[in-house]
Structure 1
């Protein structure tokens, strides 16, 4: 045993070494700080600090202290020939002696690390769900394609960045299992679309690369395009195919995509930069609406930096209370006393958010609401506006009595409408502010209200609270007069683009008249937006519009100025 090819050490119960063979001496000497091999516990106090306690706690019946305990000269370091890793097995013998067996497993551990590294590398390069290359692999393959000299300068390379629209809502509503099945179907449909494209002869030798580069994002590289302009035809085909419904179990799921495109010669460009540019174009397409593509333009980089700057400033604005609410009157136009331009100033008001930027001054919501929706801040902003406006409304009720506005209107965004807990949030604000639900009107744009069944469900949940709903910007979205009865709203707000020409265009006047008639027949009232002249006001009043809103009466003003406007404007007096 003394000359065995494995390390053998015999010690006392206190760890004092009584016998050590040459192999153990060779293996353990690197662990000795002073060159001595006197006590095993002292020798291994840094590499196996619990060894003494393991020996004390060992089961007397079996005598086993430890089996294949791995110890390293440098526990925090990666295994290497200069940093040996030993396997220690230890047991208790008769006569209060301990036997330790040491085996050098450095090469074994290194092999395990190499196998694990290969597995991790493979997992890093192949998406387990779809079987497609991952982002890492896609970048490598894309760079290879870009670096390869083109055999003909006519041939180009295009990169398509594809993002699923509202995939998170599908996941939240139907569960991750359905979401994963949907992603697999999207990947399969994408692949079949590209294979059919190849049969149509739109590429030469290049093979389309499809990769999953994010949770619900894919990339397609079209190599050796015969004509770079062909990419738009391919893009539209992908949009059309992926926009069709997916059947998963009892569910019929619609999941459109948005796409960014970069067309590039292979002798220019870096893969990471190309992917980033395609991503910027995709975001631009997403902002334009569903099932769109956008081709990258250099100006998109500057726009992205500007949006990022606004996003950072907006985070600070929320923290430092730089947002505030302004109010625009909604006036009554009908009634025997409301003639010759006279109005009812107490009909209502609309609450709108503004941003007091420390450098840029007052910033319009047009410049930041879209960014707030993209970066997840719109819920906080929406709650701030609703809470502030409800409390201000109740303050005016107490101060002005019958001269106070009778209705408060607040806008809802796309992201707010997608929030399953929206009704609970609104109910909480109504309760905390003491505002009657019947005095609150929430506005949704026509395009949002006509979007999906989930939005309609959310609208019905809000209606159940006792508040009213208004369809904003009517005439600019997807719905029509014939489908107006399908949307659970109480008020139709006629878009300013119709009102602007109501006094000069017969076509616009007919559209306004038709909208008012249909709305009234469905028990809805109407508001004309963007009234700027007495002529416009008189036209919509004569056509039977119930209320009006616009700069003719007042621009949006802060709370103190709104109260002054109410005080100065008498019922049935000319504004």
Structure 2
């Protein structure tokens, strides 16, 4: 039976065959805990198992089983070893008391129970049990801890170690008790660590740090250690507690992670991130010392050829061999060499000189040595491999605007210039060249978005026929940027070619021109009007060039016979056979071809007669000096005669004066284009200038 008479969580079991004694005890203990009781001694063990009491009161004399036997049965269960048992008896007998204490009792009280005496003893024994339970838990926690625990006296002599310590160190209890923890010392923990340790402990403070220790078998391990003073109630320090965690594997993992983060896995050299961190420190040091440092970026010349010819495994072995050679023979111990990736390496030299000229002279000598070192052949598998490198140098100083990214970017810009200038050389960073490159980069960025932002437009320059009437026009591209203004084609066409943007731009120009041509061809008197559209080399040699042109013609509904594609000699000569094949296919579909800037390339009758062109355009550079330069006159006459002999139409472009017009016409040319007949105009202006009320195409100056 249970009487829940207290909010306290202590559980008290009373076993007595006298109901009056049970009631008296329950009343006394009601404010101490939850009281459970039975008057049958045979039920005591089962009830104890069910209740799990914190305290047990037993009557000594009971029928069937006496209290001493009940106590022995309960205490035979290890779960009740620490549960206090208090006997209640009406008779004081030394033999009974001895037997009871032997069975596991802690004390006796006489019947009838005195309330104050019972309450005081139960409270005291429960408090003692709580402290014992607490200490037991603490002892179990220390014993079963995954960390090594050592307790020493004030002189550092070991008084206690737990099982984890014994497993980790390989020592036995007998071998370490009374010894000093220095038996674990490997000699590799810095002396400063021990100075800091004892400074903290003698000051009554905790200390935390790392030890490099040695086990009994001689193997080394790293421990993270926390040592704390143990104070007595009066504040006196009597012992030290050391808790040690084996972090050997953790440190190895951290080292591995650091190597992966800061070192190149192939060459074991520092990587870009490591270099950047060190450069940041070097720039700060340079600003303090006012002495120059240098970033050197090198890149092997034509390294791809080694990979392509001999395979990547040879390429990697070559890089490792070069790395070792550079590390051992080219730089000071304090200098840094890093691999940025691929075949690009970087050098950081600090504290060179406070004079720019002298610093530049010294780093040039060092860089030349690096280039000579790379230039030496490397033998692998009985084969000699030879390569050169290009180097870019940037000297940084005490300027307040220096930063890591800028320094690396400038050294790389200088390296790229070294490659452009012929390779196997070095170049210092040139701010003027960099400014031009930055402007080019800005222009390229703007060019990437110009098409989608509708910044391009097409204009038309009239072409004049034999009767001085407009027969067609050349389509020209204009870029009107909201901030840069009108960007000259001389600036952006070549850039579009280099970046490949000329392909989508060229398709847009062709499609826009065809839409306009369809509109004009539908006007009365304009049915035979033609447009000439420039086609770049990149466009021509795209695999889908024919498909793209055919699709645009079909989509816009333009008549192919009114469309001329202008190609330069250089574009055609990049792949003559491919050019001829594509031109023949499109010519069979009705298109015409004009060879633009004729005479400026490598004209040859052997291929010219094979090309399916309809027209030759005399470059304006030859027309400009007619009447002044006899050589230009000979070239113009020759081109006209060549065209006539091959049955081709010839058009002179760049005609700006009536004198030039009359001269060229006198040589036998009957088609013209130039400022004399009209500047490039938008569609609306073109119609206004060249379409009269009688629906005739006019030459306005006539």
TM-score (norm 2): 0.47
Residue 567 of structure 1 is aligned with which of 669, 682, 691?
691
Measured on the aligned residues, the alpha-carbon RMSD in Å equals 5.6
| Cα distance change, pair 303–379 in 1 and its aligned pair in 2 (3 A) | same
Q: Distance in 1 between matches of 2:603 and 2:477?
A: 29
Contact 1:261 1:296 in 2 (8 A): no
Shift of 1:500: 0.2
Shift of 1:397: 0.5
User: Over residues 290-334 of structure 1, what are the superposed CA-to-partner deviations in whole Å (9 max), with x where a residue is unaligned?
Assistant: 9999985312232233333334444443233121111112222xx
Residue pairs, 1:108-507, within 5 angstroms: 108=249, 111=252, 114-115=255-256, 118=259, 123=264, 126=267, 262=392, 273=406, 276-277=409-410, 279-280=412-413, 297-332=430-465, 338=466, 342-346=467-471, 348-402=472-526, 404-406=528-530, 408-450=531-573, 452-453=574-575, 457=578, 460-466=581-587, 467-477=591-601, 479-481=602-604, 484-485=607-608, 488=611, 490=613, 491-507=615-631
Match of 1:92 in 2: none
Q: Distance in 1 between matches of 2:423 and 2:541?
A: 16
Q: Which has the higher contact order (CA 8 A, sep 6+)?
A: 1
Q: Distance in 2 between matches of 1:320 and 1:499?
A: 38
What secondary structure sits across from 2:523 in the alignment? Answer: helix
| Cα distance change, pair 117–185 in 1 and its aligned pair in 2 (3 A) | closer
Contact 2:460 2:683 in 1 (8 A): yes
Q: Distance in 1 between matches of 2:424 and 2:461?
A: 35
| Cα distance change, pair 273–567 in 1 and its aligned pair in 2 (3 A) | same
Structure 2 alignment gaps of length 5 or more: 1-139, 148-221, 225-244, 287-293, 350-359, 375-387
User: Over residues 178-204 of structure 1, what are the superposed CA-to-partner deviations in whole Å (9 max), with x where a residue is unaligned?
Assistant: 699699899989x99xx9xxxxxxxx9
| Cα distance change, pair 359–542 in 1 and its aligned pair in 2 (3 A) | same
Q: Distance in 2 between matches of 1:517 and 1:365?
A: 32
Contact 1:329 1:549 in 2 (8 A): yes
2:672 corresponds to 1:548: yes
User: Over residues 528-559 of structure 1, what are the superposed CA-to-partner deviations in whole Å (9 max), with x where a residue is unaligned?
Assistant: 22110112122222223342211111111101
| Cα distance change, pair 528–317 in 1 and its aligned pair in 2 (3 A) | same
Shift of 1:365: 2.1
What secondary structure sits across from 2:586 in the alignment? Answer: coil
Q: Distance in 2 between matches of 1:530 and 1:219?
A: 51
Structure 1 alignment gaps of length 5 or more: 1-20, 29-79, 83-103, 149-155, 171-176, 196-203, 239-256, 333-337
Which structure has the larger Rg over C-alpha atoms? 2
What secondary structure sits across from 1:464 in the alignment? Answer: helix
Q: Distance in 1 between matches of 2:429 and 2:407?
A: 10
Shift of 1:283: 6.9
Shift of 1:521: 3.4
Q: Distance in 2 between matches of 1:289 and 1:439?
A: 47
Match of 1:97 in 2: none
| Cα distance change, pair 262–496 in 1 and its aligned pair in 2 (3 A) | farther
Q: How many residues align structurally?
A: 417
Q: Distance in 1 between matches of 2:609 and 2:628?
A: 32
Match of 2:89 in 1: none
User: Over residues 20-62 of structure 1, what are the superposed CA-to-partner deviations in whole Å (9 max), with x where a residue is unaligned?
Assistant: x97997469xxxxxxxxxxxxxxxxxxxxxxxxxxxxxxxxxx
What secondary structure sits across from 2:651 in the alignment? Answer: strand
Q: Which moved more, 1:276-285 or 1:309-318?
A: 276-285
Contact 1:471 1:489 in 2 (8 A): no
Shift of 1:492: 2.6
Contact 2:418 2:425 in 1 (8 A): yes
Shift of 1:159: 5.6
TM-score (norm 1): 0.55
Q: Distance in 1 between matches of 2:425 and 2:651?
A: 33
| Cα distance change, pair 178–163 in 1 and its aligned pair in 2 (3 A) | closer
Shift of 1:476: 3.2
Match of 1:511 in 2: 635
Residue 527 of structure 1 is aligned with which of 648, 651, 655?
651
Residue pairs, 1:45-56, within 5 angstroms: none
Contact 1:403 1:566 in 2 (8 A): no
Residue pairs, 1:3-14, within 5 angstroms: none
Contact 2:677 2:701 in 1 (8 A): no
